[in-house]
Every structure is written in C-alpha cells, then in structure tokens.
Structure 1
Amino acid sequence: METVIGVIGGSGVYDIEGLEDARWQAVEGPWGKPSDEILTGRLDGVRMAFLPRHGRGHVHSPSSVPYRANIDALKRLGVTDVVSVSACGSFREELAPGDFVVVDQFIDRTFAREKSFFGTGCVGHVSLAFPTCPRLSAACAEAGEAEGIRIHRGGTYLAMEGPQFSTLAESKLYRENWGCDVIGMTNMPEAKLAREAELCYASVAMITDYDSWHPHHGEVDIAAIIATLKCNADKARALVGRLPALLGASRGPCPHGCDRALDYAILTAPDKRDPALVAKLDAVAGRVL
C-alpha cells in the first residue's frame, strides 16, 4: 500500500515547505466543506496532504472546526497516516514553552461538537483505549529528535471546549487531580474520528505556555503565546519534513490495527441500516460496508 501522509496544522502552521507539484485543491464530501482547501504534493517521493485546521487566516474557532469533514476529506485523498500538530498549554514544569510532546492519551471535555460518523441507522463503536498509533508516534518523536527539538514521548492531553482558556481552579484540577500533561482545544473529536476512519493518528503538541497553574508565570499571556507559536511553527515544519524518509513510500498493514478498527465495530444489522447514512460513510467505512 502507498503511504500518504496527512498533516493537520494547528495555530501558526498553515503550510508545508518544499512540496513538489504542490497545489491547493478543494475536497468536498457528504459531511460538508473541510476547514480549507488541502495542499497536496510530494516530499522525498512520498505523497503529502496538508490541511490547516483553522483555515488559512485562522477563521475557525476550536468549536467550529468541521472535524468530520476534515477527516473524511483526508480519507478521500487516500491518506493513510494523519499527524496532528497543535498548540497546547503545559501542566508540567519540565514541559516548557518551546518543547514538543508526542501525546498518547486524551481526556475529552468538549461538549459542543459532533463526535462520530456513526449514529441512528448505522451504529458503530470503535476501541479508543489507545487513541494514537505507536508506530506513527514513534516516527514523529524520532523526526523531532533528529531536528534537535526538545521532544517528550508520551503524555495525556486534556481537550477543553474553549475558546476561553482555563480558570485557575480548572487548571489545578486537570494538573493535580487528573494527572494531565498538556491542554488544548482541538484534538478531540479529531482523534476519535480518525480511528473511526481507520487512519493511523499521531498528535504532536507544541507547548506555548504553562496554562494558569504556574505560580511564577501567572495567567496565559496571548502576546507570549504568539511569539512562541512562530518559533514552534518552524520546528513543526522541520519535523514534518523528516517524516517521508522515516515512514517510506509504501507500507504494510498497521501493526497496531488502526487500519482495521471497524472490523467488529458496526452493530446495526445490514437490513436495518439507513441507506442515506451508509452512503455518507462511503469513504470512512467503505471497506466494511
């Protein structure tokens, strides 16, 4: 199978440099328009697809990002591996602004978003015990280390609804009682939808601040975040640039089963399935439907 790397760029990351045959193309599906056109091309012989999560010019808030349309569009382009890059706050002293964390767990506190491709007329339940792909995550960590980025392997990401930042009480709860490592607003339901679409998914959290818990840093400073974002964006592009060589132009089945997540997930009997919903699932779940 051909490797096709999809990159979802968060705040500050709006393109990929060095793509051959690069072009922005519109991809529409039954779940609506994605956040923006998708930049496609090749890097070191490997097909790439880049989608700015908030749209170029940052037009979507975390709550208005069309997550289902984004994942569906990447799947329609043949993407096999999705790398999410996003700005985050840190709950740990050792996870400093400018550091990257390759996330491997999530706590979802969002509440205003559609979180599944499945529903009435075609019910599906995927396993999310291990929501990221270890193989793809390891490649991201290796790429970051090769670029000299201070990168941490593993961490729990608290996904909040936003768009406001945390209160001090919330920040302390997530850090002290829940054991979270970073906080962001966009990796959920993205990771859930990627699993439903049988895509390998890795999350690279770019730390911009210490949220509001840190006694010596005070509340979140937007000006400081923007300055760190610019530096992090350059690091993120460098990390992504190393992935084609690490992943290769072809791949076998995911050793962790990400690409077979729907094998036993759909419970609705074939004769009871809603034809309209089944039609919308043509890209996401076509392999099993």
Structure 2
Amino acid sequence: MTNSRLEDLMAIDPGEMSEDVQKEFFNELKASRLFLPVNFISNPINPEELEEWETLELSEPLRFEPVLLKINEKFVLPLFTNEEALEQMGRVNVINYAATDIAELLLNLENVSEVLINPNTDSSIGMARESFVMQCLADEISGMIDIASDLNEFAVPLEQNTKFYLRSETPFMADEAEEDVFTASEPFFVSSLDVFHPEYEYLNVLVVPKGMMFLYLGNIVDNLEENHDVVLAPVIRFHLEESENDTFIWKAIEQELGG
C-alpha cells in the first residue's frame, strides 16, 4: 500500500485547500499506513541476523516507545509516508503502522503536542495531537464521545480567524443578548457551512478569532446541511456587530475555558 494520493494532497497549500479537498485529505490520512520511528524496549530485532524466511518466537510481547522530536520546547511525533522521507532520521527502527493505530497510541501520549508528517520536506504537514486523533478515530469516537466531558481534552485552537454559522427558527441570540452580548455557557454547536438548515429564517454569522478553542465533528456527523459540525468551547461571549433583516453578524470577544 502506498500513500501517493495522500502525498499529492499534502503538496497543496493548506490555505488553498477547498472543503472537498480537505475532506479527501483526512479520508486518505485515516486510511494510510505511516512509518513510525521507535525505540524497542524489549526483544530488539536485527533483520541482518535473520535468515531468509526465518521467523521468531517471542517469549514476551514486543514493546516499543515512539521517537519524539523536541521543537520549540514542545514534543512532536514524527511520521513518514515513504522511505525516502524517512532517510533524514538516519538509521532508526521503524514500524509501518496504520494511522488509526497511531491515533490510539497518541491517546496515551499526553506529552505530545503535535504530529508532524514528513518533517523537513517541502510538503511537511503538522497537526495538533488532538486533531490527528479526532480525524483518524472519528468513527470510534462518534459512538462514545461525551461532548460535555471530552471537549476540554479534544478541543484545539483555531489557526486563523474563522466564520461559523448558526441558522435558527427564532432570533434567539439577539433576544437573549444583554447590551448586545450573547453568552453561551454550554458547548455551543454551530456549522462551518452557510447552507446549514437553509429553511430556517434567521442566520447568525459568527466571527471567531484565531486561538479560540473548538472541536471539529465534520468527519463524525452525516448530512452537514442538517447537523452541526463544530462545537465552540464554553463559556464564550459574542458581541452583535451589525444586523440587517434576518441576518446577524456576531464577533466572539471572550472565551473562558472550563466555565
């Protein structure tokens, strides 16, 4: 199995990826097998000592720990799509691991801040640990996630100022706002698509600044025209910037995590 299509998608500037391309990228990532540099803790295997077709009977389970890089005082897990990209690591033990298995491994590596695929190459891509886990384990997490308790664990900061959308049957945000400030004290479900529930009369456009925490559910939910695909971490406050007819423009001005 090769990662040629994943590598083609990685060559595209993330800022120029359309929504469809982003979805394809995450699908390819989830289906991929990647080279994971490791240090063996027990039962090290030296391939040069094995005869052709020789097999080993292990007296105990093979155990290993991933090789981590330290970049800007943060621990990063390097992954590689092919052997050529891996060469920069020098002579190192590697395991060819399914991305979903790597994601499960990352659940227990809380000291890791980021996953870096093909580091020091022209098509290197970095992802927050939480994002990698959410994208690769979307199906598993969808059956067990408790938004209220897991939001703080899986939420990640926005990498740029972003617009989200919330259509509703009533202008509830404007009605509940005090001095033009609406406060969401619970996880706030919104959409990344402006076509979300087009049959609803009122449209709230939410401008959320870079750095605020959110949880993306796009690979978990079906039918994005009818279901929210983003959760904004509470407590989050929005200021009403302007309104015209049935459209309200809001800007997130404050977020108090764990509120």
Q: TM-score, normalised by structure 2?
A: 0.25
Q: TM-score, normalised by structure 1?
A: 0.23
User: Highest Rg: 1 or 2?
Assistant: 2
User: Highest relative contact order (Cα 8 Å, sep 6+), 1 or 2?
Assistant: 1
